[in-house]
Chain A
């Protein structure tokens, strides 16, 4: 019981701020190390594919990025809903902080998908089920960001965004199913981007490491952004002014 209470102590922006500040460098370091190992394994140690040559190696970025983009959307919707249901300000801030990172991973997945498609099948873009779903996910992120940015009142913006994110999450399976249906019907580019080479264990390990690296990176970036938003929202509060006053000038502007 007491551990839970101590944990909830960090649910206020004021308490979260210093804790997050201490954790950010660690997450950054973990991300860098895991990414280095993962990329080494993926780029240099994984076997060359018989049909696709070395171009397939982009999947070590493409697939983890796609996973992160989908996962972050649900996590964003979760925290936004918590913030709405329990009036938990920090949860709402975290949700807003996740959105740009999630959108970034979506964009990365799309871009690396294109880079994979071009040397392999000669086209920068194919409308297969997965890439199309990623594109729609990008629209969902864009819609969330556009909506919360358009509303000046932060409480209304947080809640409207939470509702939109929850509605989006409920619809994601439906949209995904309909896109698969659409793709199989039209038998278009089903010479698909999705036939990945048979997975050697080195490849699986590399993808896992890259996923964890992206996770750590996401934590670091989201914490930085959360701190910035919390500072901005509480800019009249004592804790915010103290933190800013205490920050050594040589560290530069952002936290």
Chain B
């Protein structure tokens, strides 16, 4: 459940993330007009805006990598889950000189997850990359690397909120379908998803709520 950019003052009781009058800055420029929205458990929020409007900066701010220029954001829910959203950036964070499973294992270990071989295989299988698990990342195409990066989502045991930046980029039609399925499944289980995408989202159930970023009001 999400509000309009024109504030929703009373967030729903099951809100995982509440954003109030948030503004983000890159360099000296404020990127967008203040936005407010709430993300409820089991919902998908689709951030839209023109190129350069600040979608990536907003996600980074929600992830905690940058401080907002104004306003605040609050994560609610169980403390071991809430302040640790899973953030997948536009860059895949895979090391070219590691194998697929080594790279994936590293990323999962970083976020504190205990990883066994079976989990890894299953996660890679979900995105169709199990056959390449011992290949070096540098031998993969862009789309394949994206699939490996997304495999992290399939390896999650906890219901962390997901922040996904252009997750559908570089995927072929089959990959898009796989990802849509994974996202929808996460939402159905009660997890929250905030994502950006240039292209229409191929997810109908649950219907994504849209948050538009607009240019800031001043001259």
Which label, helix, strand, loop or mixed, suits the secondary structure of the A interface?
helix
Contacts of A233 in B (CB 8 A): 28
Q: Give the interface size class of chain A.
A: under 10
Which 4 A-B pairs have CB atoms at the shortest separation, nearest pair first? A153-B27, A154-B28, A155-B27, A154-B27
Once bound together, how far apart are the Cα atoms of A154 and B25, in whole Å? 12
Contacts of A152 in B (CB 8 A): 27
Contacts of A155 in B (CB 8 A): 27-28
Which A residues are within 8 Å of any B CB, using their own CB?
Answer: 152-155, 233
CB distance from B41 to the nearest CB of A (A): 35
Closest to B28 in A: A154
Contacts of B28 in A (CB 8 A): 153-155, 233
CB distance from A170 to the nearest CB of B (A): 25
Which label, helix, strand, loop or mixed, suits the secondary structure of the B interface?
loop
Once bound together, how far apart are the Cα atoms of A154 and B28, in whole Å? 7
Contacts of A154 in B (CB 8 A): 27-28
Once bound together, how far apart are the Cα atoms of A22 and B75, in whole Å? 50
Supply 8 A–B pairs (Cβ within 8 Å), ascending by A: A152-B27, A153-B27, A153-B28, A154-B27, A154-B28, A155-B27, A155-B28, A233-B28
Closest to A154 in B: B28
Closest to B25 in A: A155
Closest to A156 in B: B27
C-beta contact mask, B18-43 vs A, less than 8 Å → 1, else 0?
00000000011000000000000000
Closest to A153 in B: B27
Once bound together, how far apart are the Cα atoms of A181 and B27, in whole Å? 45
Contacts of B27 in A (CB 8 A): 152-155
Once bound together, how far apart are the Cα atoms of A153 and B26, in whole Å? 9
Closest to B219 in A: A236
Closest to A234 in B: B28
CB distance from A193 to the nearest CB of B (A): 47
B2-54 with Cβ < 8 A to chain A = 27-28
Once bound together, how far apart are the Cα atoms of A233 and B27, in whole Å? 12
Can you name 5 extra interface pairs (CB under 8 A) apart from A152-B27, A155-B27, A233-B28? A153-B27, A153-B28, A154-B27, A154-B28, A155-B28
Once bound together, how far apart are the Cα atoms of A53 and B28, in whole Å? 58
Once bound together, how far apart are the Cα atoms of A233 and B29, in whole Å? 12
Once bound together, how far apart are the Cα atoms of A110 and B27, in whole Å? 38
Closest to B27 in A: A153
Once bound together, how far apart are the Cα atoms of A205 and B206, in whole Å? 82
Once bound together, how far apart are the Cα atoms of A152 and B28, in whole Å? 11
Once bound together, how far apart are the Cα atoms of A229 and B137, in whole Å? 47
Once bound together, how far apart are the Cα atoms of A233 and B28, in whole Å? 9
Once bound together, how far apart are the Cα atoms of A155 and B30, in whole Å? 13
CB distance from A4 to the nearest CB of B (A): 26
C-beta contact mask, B116-157 vs A, less than 8 Å → 1, else 0?
000000000000000000000000000000000000000000
Once bound together, how far apart are the Cα atoms of A80 and B39, in whole Å? 39
Closest to A236 in B: B219
CB distance from A183 to the nearest CB of B (A): 46
CB distance from A172 to the nearest CB of B (A): 31
CB distance from B215 to the nearest CB of A (A): 15
CB distance from A220 to the nearest CB of B (A): 28
CB distance from A87 to the nearest CB of B (A): 10
Closest to A233 in B: B28
Once bound together, how far apart are the Cα atoms of A146 and B28, in whole Å? 21
Once bound together, how far apart are the Cα atoms of A47 and B130, in whole Å? 90
Once bound together, how far apart are the Cα atoms of A153 and B28, in whole Å? 8
